[in-house]
Chain A
Amino acid sequence: MSKSPPTQEEVARHKQTNVMLSRVAGSLYWMSRYLERAENLARLMDVNLQILLDFGQVSEDILKEHWLPILRSTGDEDLFFELYEVADSESVMEFLTFRLENPNSLLSCISNARENGRQVRDQISSEMWEVLNDAYHYLKATDKENLWDGGASAFFDQIKCYSHLFQGITVSTFSRNEGFEFIQFGKYLERADKMTRLLDMKYHILLPKVTDVGGAVDAAQWQAVLRSASAVEPYRRFYVADILFAKVIEFLIFEDTFPRSLMFCLEQMDDFAHLIADTPAGEYRSDGERRFGKFLNNLHFTTAKDIINRGLHEFLTEVQIEISAFGGHLYDTFMYHPPVDMQAEIRFHQQQEQQQQHRR
């Protein structure tokens, strides 16, 4: 059965519905980023709470040693010590989960995701909105006591679940238009950035004593890193091997069949950026695109061994800079419009009005 050709009106209507406000693009992008951030945070906390259970009785020092790198990896260590004196499980959990003063706490992330969703409610599907809304009300209805009594693990699972549900619903209810591209770009950018921070955590902490490398503690820690990236099972299936430092790095950075690996995320960013900019695959038309393309290309010729030789931390820092530069480029090009200078606009239009009257 052949489709009848669209009428002129339909074509015009189609053009209209495919117009996207820059503000809307920005909101979709941030909505998606914040939700992805929340998911990563939930996983990170869940895993670390469970690791602590393996330690048995722990001293204050061990707790501090355990939580500090995690705080550092989120980039909010200074803020934490403005609000708290000691970094123990409870204070860190509260800070990362409920504190609104922390712009990257779970509650802040989910609130921001929802607020961005609310600003574009006319654009997203009802189902997407309802998940954001549900997640927000779920978090609001939980407090610190509740969390400890009711089982933190179930709580964090639920948060991850909301994020998965949201992304799944997006794939099955959101038209494959420009808006979708901004949502995906935001998701993969956030995921790539979080992957670098997760790997870097191991550098901060977990940097074991030389004698421990390859030992049981080291393996447990690398396993925690894998679990924080939902990667234990895929890793095992891929290597059918013990958890080894070099292999974990190779998997989490280069394995482009695994949807949370750095390479996978960076490739997706590149793809969606091409769609957004309407640039054919393989071509690079602006400085921002060229810079990212070059970086990605270089990465294809880099091995895990190169990275280890050069220093994992140094490598990750460079990746973070590239991700942030590329995100900024896309934001400036498509999502941001410099705010209007209201007073200048008002003067301009008043003058125009006077000239009109003069002519009349």
Chain B
Amino acid sequence: MLFDNYQPENFFDEMFTADGTIRPHYRSVAAAFNDVDANEFRNKQTAVEASFMRGGVTFTVYSDSQGTERIFPFDCVPRVISAEEWEIVEKGLIQRLTALNLFLHDIYHDQKIIKDRVIPPQYVLSAKHFRREFMHFEVPKDIYVHICGSDLIRDRNGQYMVLEDNLRCPSGASYMLENRAALKRTFPELFKASGVHSVSNYPAELLKVMQYCAPANFRANDAPNCVLLTPGVFNSAYFEHAFLARQMGIPIVEGRDLVVRDFKVYMRTTAGLVKVDVIYRRIDDDFLDPSVFRADSLLGVPGLVNAYRAGNVSLANSIGTGVADDKVVYYFVPHMIKYYLGEDPILPNVDTFLASEPADCSHILANLDKLVVKSANEAGGYGMLMGPWASKAEIEEFRKLIEDNPRNFIAQDPISLSRHPTWTEEYGFEGRHIDLRPYILYGEKIVVTPGGLTRVALKKGSLVVNSSQGGGSKDTWVLRDSVPE
């Protein structure tokens, strides 16, 4: 049997308890896989990779002059989340996104949270993505973050924790959908007995969110013209942009397809200029409008910010939301929840030290070989020091960086992320560390898609799950009903 030699070892394992028993909500998956032998499994794994390649579900390897395309490695064993666990996760995420939106509204208006000394002013005002220009600007329907992907992990005790919030252009939703489709093709029998929530509603929900936040002066009887703004085919996430646009049935546009006249945005079509009302932008603030932000950028649309200010076009997400996913600001999210909602956070943060606080800083500098250090605004696994695994030289390099610019760094104790049985060519099933990125949409109400993207650190022992650093992914199941013990 495939799982016979499986060892949870000394980690929290999603599928097995410490004594090797299968957790109840994994029973049907385990039973189905027990009918599969290693050869068959290997064949299915190959077939699924071929189908990704055929469908062009790939990302381009930039460093390679041949324009080599790779698939995002996919592991066929689904990650299963019980109905009870999900209920907590869902509530926690809704609570968190509610607080983050209130925070964004506050700091772009009265800044009460600063005046009440809950967050020291310098942390907000010095945040790289704080957009002073948008002070006192009214965003449509008061929603700043329409699309959020917060990264969750589970620690040694199985406690779900928030590792970081992605409030700018979180990606990966297309892989959530493609992974589900791939697993349905490969192991249809797995689904029969399990009662899994569908994730296929995501694009429709996303379109509803866009339509809901149409400009205030928009005529009620018309459907707003929605578009997805991409940096273009050379962007590594282009697959996702095209995928989502197609699923929603809206045009995917590049900066050069748009033009701004009289504070309105138009797209250039075969029938002349057509007005655009809502833009799901997958371009960062800095590149959005070269007449306001970076003048050297060729990706954006000159005049877009003016049109946005004039209330003639809506943006999802709004401008300046990045201030709330600064890793220093992340530290204060539990305080925000308490401050704005008067509630205790349902999903805790990972314990974090701020290098800009003198006491924390000396602790960090004295324990660089034990901590994980992250720069405040990097993503994709870049700008990180994994202390326990780092070389002396790397540690010294970070010491210098932190001393030069403490505002830019935080540190956390390395969390022993939960593990999940994952197929390896050498040993069959082995435990690999995983995290979870659920997708949260904020329109008429906040909706969490029941599922998400589970990323897997495919290298033995590695804690880094980013696709750019050798990570893979899994289908993520949320069960409809509770399973008896």
Residues of A within 8 A of B (CB): 8-9, 12-13, 16-17, 19-25, 115, 118-119, 121-123, 126, 129-130, 133-134, 137, 178, 276, 334-335, 337, 339-340, 342, 345-350, 352-353, 356
Contacts and interface: CB of A to CB of B under 8 A. Distances in A.
B380 interface: no
A121 B270 contact: no
Contacts of A348: 291, 302-303
A21 B251 contact: yes
Nearest to B242: A121
Contact of A19 (B54, B271, B303): B271
Interface string B244-263: 01100111111011011001
Contacts of B226: 16
B306 interface: yes
B217 interface: no
B271 A337 contact: no
A335 B268 CA distance: 10
Q: Which 5 A-B pairs have the closest CB atoms?
A: A345-B302, A12-B223, A122-B246, A349-B303, A122-B245
A78 to B, nearest CB: 26
A122 B302 contact: no
Contact of A346 (B246, B263, B267, B291): B291
B290 interface: yes
Nearest to B298: A342
A115 B233 CA distance: 9
A346 B295 contact: yes
Interface of B: 53-56, 221-223, 225-226, 233, 238, 242-243, 245-246, 249-254, 256-257, 259-260, 263, 267-271, 274, 289-292, 295, 298, 302-303, 306
A25 B257 CA distance: 12
Instruction: Specify which of A129, A134, A346 lies most central, judged by the most chain B CB atoms within 10 Å of its CB.
Output: A346
10 contacts: A9-B223, A19-B267, A22-B269, A23-B268, A115-B233, A122-B243, A126-B55, A345-B302, A348-B302, A353-B292
A334 B270 contact: yes
Nearest to A114: B56
A349 B257 CA distance: 17
Given A337-B268, A342-B290, A342-B298, A134 B54 contact: yes
Nearest to A350: B291
Contacts of B291: 345-350, 353
Contact of B251 (A122, A134, A335): A122
B303 A21 contact: no
B251 A349 contact: no
A355 to B, nearest CB: 11
Given A130-B54, A134-B54, A122 B252 contact: yes
B207 to A, nearest CB: 10
A340 B256 contact: yes
A63 B23 CA distance: 73
B213 to A, nearest CB: 17
A21 B290 contact: no
A334 B272 CA distance: 9
A335 B242 CA distance: 20
Counting chain B CB atoms within 10 Å of each CB, which of A126, A134, A335, A345 scores highest?
A345
A177 B272 CA distance: 17
Given A16-B226, A126-B55, A352-B306, 11 more contacts: A13-B223, A16-B250, A22-B268, A23-B257, A24-B251, A129-B55, A337-B268, A342-B302, A345-B302, A346-B291, A348-B303
A20 B270 CA distance: 6
Contacts of A342: 290, 298, 302
A21 B259 CA distance: 12
A342 B298 CA distance: 8
Contact of A119 (B222, B233, B306): B233
Point out which of A22, A115, A178, A335 has the most chain B C-beta atoms below 10 A from its C-beta.
A22
A276 B72 CA distance: 40
A224 B114 CA distance: 83
Contacts of A345: 259, 291, 302-303
Given A130-B54, A346-B291, A20 B269 contact: yes
A17 B245 CA distance: 12
Contacts of A340: 256, 259, 302
B437 to A, nearest CB: 23
A289 B291 CA distance: 40
A346 B54 contact: no
A317 to B, nearest CB: 31
Contacts of A25: 270
Contacts of B274: 19
Nearest to A115: B233
Nearest to A356: B306
Contacts of A123: 246
B268 A122 contact: no
A8 B289 CA distance: 34
Contact of B269 (A9, A19, A122, A356): A19
Nearest to A178: B270
A17 B227 CA distance: 11
Contacts of A23: 254, 256-257, 268
Contacts of B246: 121-123
A192 to B, nearest CB: 22
A266 B87 CA distance: 64
Given A118-B233, A133-B55, A21 B225 contact: no
Given A129-B56, A342-B290, A353-B291, A19 B225 contact: yes
Nearest to A123: B246
A90 to B, nearest CB: 24
Contact of B260 (A8, A16, A130, A349): A349
A118 B268 contact: no
A121 B257 CA distance: 16
A279 B183 CA distance: 49
Contacts of A126: 55
A134 B53 CA distance: 9
B56 A133 contact: yes
Given A8-B221, A121-B242, A129-B56, A352 B303 contact: yes
A335 B270 CA distance: 7
Nearest to B249: A17
A322 to B, nearest CB: 23
Nearest to A111: B67
Contacts of B54: 130, 133-134, 137
Contacts of B306: 349, 352-353, 356
A98 B194 CA distance: 50
A335 B298 CA distance: 21
Contacts of A115: 233
B143 to A, nearest CB: 22
Contacts of B303: 345, 348-349, 352
A346 B54 CA distance: 42
A346 B289 CA distance: 9
Nearest to B267: A21
A204 B302 CA distance: 53
B50 to A, nearest CB: 10
B242 A349 contact: no
A317 B292 CA distance: 52
A243 to B, nearest CB: 42
Given A340-B259, A342-B298, A12 B222 contact: yes
Contacts of A352: 263, 303, 306
Given A122-B251, A353-B306, A22 B55 contact: no
Contacts of B56: 118, 121, 129-130, 133
